[in-house]
Amino acid sequence: MPSSDRSGLPSLPWRLSAVWYRHFRVYTRDLVSNGLPPFLEPLIFLAGIGLGLGRYISEMGGMSYLTFLATGLPMTAAMYTAAFECTYSTFVRLEFDHVYDGMMAAPITARDLLVGEILWAGTKGFFFSFAVVTVMALVGVLPLPGSLLSPLIGFFTGVMFAAMSLVVTSFVTSINQFSFYLTGALSPMFFFSGVVFPIEELPGVLRRLAEVFPLTHSVRLARALDFLTVTPALPWDLLFIGAFTAAMGWLAIWRLQRRLVQ
Amino acid sequence: MIAGGAVIVARNVHKSFGAVKAVNGVSFSVPEGSSFGLLGPNGAGKTTLMRMVYGVSRRDREPPSEIRVFGHDPERDELAIKFVAGVVPQENNLDEELNVTQNLQVFARFYHLTGRRAAERIDALLAFTELADKRAVRIRHLSGGMKRRLVIARALLNNPRLLILDEPTTGLDPQVRHLIWEKLRALKRQGLTILLTTHYMEEAFQICDTVFIMNRGERVVEGNPQALVRREIEPYVLEIYTREAFERVRDHLPAPGTRIEESGGVVRVYSSDDAGLLRAGERLGPGDYHLRPSNLEDLFLKATGSTLNALQ
């Protein structure tokens, strides 16, 4: 793949990688405080569930409750990290630190910057789900080897929630407004997307609503991969994630471009 | 490159933000190797105009206008322009989490500069901006002047042919300001074309071949700073700090060709008769007046009826 054309201008993949690299360098500057918590969180969860709730509920969705949770949690980790990255962090870069002003002086377009942003959030989705998978696999509650592949779904989950969160960010005028998104959209998804109990148990309306929650499709896809099974919902999940990500990504770029290039 | 060796050509540029006209029918051209200064109070449209040059602000569709930078339209070929233009934005916007070298490394990648080539270029630029002993220092531990020099180094990473600076020395102490001016003059000698905005008349005098003074989105006056002051304004000015003191010497001012401006409580008497102005001034107490050569600021005052800083 050529990385620049004849005039020396960096190619599109190179430009995206340069945006990604900036975020990577800033994130890895503080490896302990940025890299450790993703591994600690699942441990705390395990302790809480294993010692507490797990004693009352032994089985869920045809598997042990710990396994049920352990196959869903990597996706919520990916969701939350991508959502935080593309709401609070993006807003700070846009409005407070003026990081984007500096980057926009470099030979990249606003679209390059935003796509790079989404790819970075996808990378964090991969890393955070990888951390959960690692911990859960080590304590032996995950089916192997299928589960080792689920961070890949974590990547696409990160990309999807990054795109969606950027759309939210494009409407936000004050950083405090993100709370509505977190409690109004992400918290319901955590509970009604088949992470803590199967959505099949939900009453009619909620059951159908859960079907349009993006996280539902990530979780179902991840579980299918964990157990290396082909489920009837698989094409629908893939289609949903692809179409939803494309639509949100397009909308986010269309709206935020006008904030970056006035 | 276009005919006449102009690096930037702007013609009839308009820019509105809602009902606010930020730039109102501005035209200018910047010859290769020259330095061009946009001057004017805050809100005059300098920054907006500058951002349009490198494609991060879009001009109005109507009326028809044109901007060409190295022959490229910034709205269509922003990458080609940004690749050969270094930008020093008004805000430093460095990555606070990273150190000096890392900031440059991250940015070098945007220009396809990596590994050894990047390291060599970064070394050279840190030496040029006198930051070599700060290479491992985190941004938050740098002084304002060091941050500014680092942003200038960042803008120079890709050996630009055009350097765009938005208020390069605002808020810096005089020593740093002079150091930055020295660096900019050195770059100019190497043939770099410079476009800058500034509030400082002295900065324009030190660096610019051409100044373009703006007010409320429009051109007020344009030309070589020395020539403008020589041609457009009386060479001396007697500043009198109170209205009352002015009244005392009013009848003793040199008679012909004297022009009087009052703004911000200060009365300024312009004339080519410096001896006459001095005689009038000496009738007042030493703290009441100041006789000095006139400068660009006086020119701006004459052209707009307000001082450069009055609108800030």
User: Is A108–B102 a contact, with Cβ atoms under 8 angstroms apart?
Assistant: no
The number of CA neighbours under 13 Å toward the Cβ of A124 is 33
B56 in contact with chain A, both atoms CB, cutoff 8 A: yes
Q: Which CATH class is domain B234-293?
A: alpha beta
A262–chain B Cβ distance below 8 A for any pair: yes
Between A and B, how many residue pairs show a Cβ–Cβ distance under 8 A? 86
CATH 3.30.565.10 fits B3-223, yes or no: no
Put simply, the answer to whether B17 touches A262 (Cβ < 8 Å) is yes
Low-confidence ranges of chain B (pLDDT < 50): 1-3, 308-312
Q: Report pLDDT digits (tens) over A12-43.
A: 999 999 999 999 999 999 888 888 999 998 98
What is residue B72's predicted lDDT score, i.e. its pLDDT? Answer: 95
Query: Hey, are the CB atoms on A104 and B56 less than 8 Å from each other?
Result: yes
Instruction: In whole angstroms, give the CA distance from residue B169 to residue A16.
Output: 32
* A228, pLDDT greater than 80: yes
Average pLDDT over residues A172-177: 94
CA B252 from chain centre, in angstroms, equals: 38
CA distance B176 to chain A (A): 22
Non-local (6+) Cβ contacts of B60 within 8 A are B14, B15, B16
**CA B212 – CA B207 distance, rounded (Å):** 13
Residue B42 pLDDT = 79
Per-residue pLDDT at B309: 46
- Pairwise CA distance, residues B280 & B19, whole Å: 48
- The residues, any chain, with a CB within 8 Å of residue A5's CB and separated by 6 or more, are A11
- Report pLDDT for B201: 80
- φ, ψ of residue B196 to 5 degrees: the values are -140, 155
In this complex, is the C-beta atom of A29 within 8 Å of any C-beta atom belonging to chain B?
yes
CA distance A249 to B118: 33
CA distance B21 to chain A (A): 14
In B81-132, beta strands by DSSP E: 85-88
- Measured from the Cβ of residue B124, the count of other Cβ atoms closer than 10 Å reads 14
Residue B9 CA to residue B248 CA, distance in Å, equals: 51
Chain A contact for B82, CB < 8 A?
Answer: yes
Of the partner residues A21, A104, A105, the one whose CB lies closest to the CB of residue B109: A21
- Pick from B240, B244, B282: nearest CA to B258: B240
Looking at the partner chain, which of A8, A25, A108 has a beta carbon nearest the beta carbon of B110? A108
Other Cβ atoms less than 10 A from the Cβ of B274: the count is 17
Task: Show me where the domains of chain B are located.
Answer: 3-223, 234-293
Q: How many Å apart are CA B135 and CA B123, to the nearest integer?
A: 9
Residues 6 or more apart whose Cβ sits within 8 Å of residue A71 = A63, A142, A143, A147, A150, A219, A222, A223, A226
| Residue A55: pLDDT over 90 | no
Distance from CA of B290 to the nearest CA of A (A): 42
Question: Which residue of B94, B98, B107 is in closest CB contact with A106?
Answer: B107
pLDDT number for residue B244: 87
Stronger pLDDT, B189 or A59, i.e. the higher one: B189
Q: What value does the mean pLDDT take over residues A135-140?
A: 92
Residues in B touching A108 (Cβ below 8 Å): 79, 82, 110
Nearest to A166 by CA among A246, A252, A261, A84: A252
Cβ <8 Å between B110 and A103? yes
Residues in B closer than 8 angstroms to A17, CB to CB, are 109
Q: What is the pLDDT of residue B311?
A: 39
Q: Is B57 helix (H, G, I), strand (E, B) or coil?
A: coil
| Token code pair at residue B277 | 């102005």
B98: nearest CB among A3, A29, A105: A29
ipTM of this complex: 0.89
Instruction: Check CB contact under 8 Å for A9 and B79.
Output: yes
- DSSP secondary structure string, chain A? --SB-TT-PBPHHHHHHHHHHHHHHHHHTTHHHHHSHHHHHHHHHHHHIIIIIHHH--EETTEEHHHHHHHHHHHHHHHHHHHHIIIIIHHIIIIIS-HHHHHTTSS--HHHHHHHHHHHHHHHHHHHHHHHHHHHHHTT-S-TTGGGGHHHHHHHHHHHHHHHHHHHHHH-SSGGGHHHHIIIIIHHHHHHSSSSS-GGGS-HHHHHHHTT-HHHHHHHHHHHHHTT---TTHHHHHHHHHHHHHHHHHHHHHHHHHHH--
**Residues A218, A241: contact at Cβ < 8 Å?**
yes
Among B57, B55, B48, B99, which residue's Cα sits nearest to residue B74? B55
In this prediction, residue B195 carries a pLDDT of: 96
Structure tokens at A112: 């390059």
Query: What is the per-residue pLDDT for A5?
Result: 54
- Residue B112 has its nearest CB partner, among A4, A101, A105, at A4
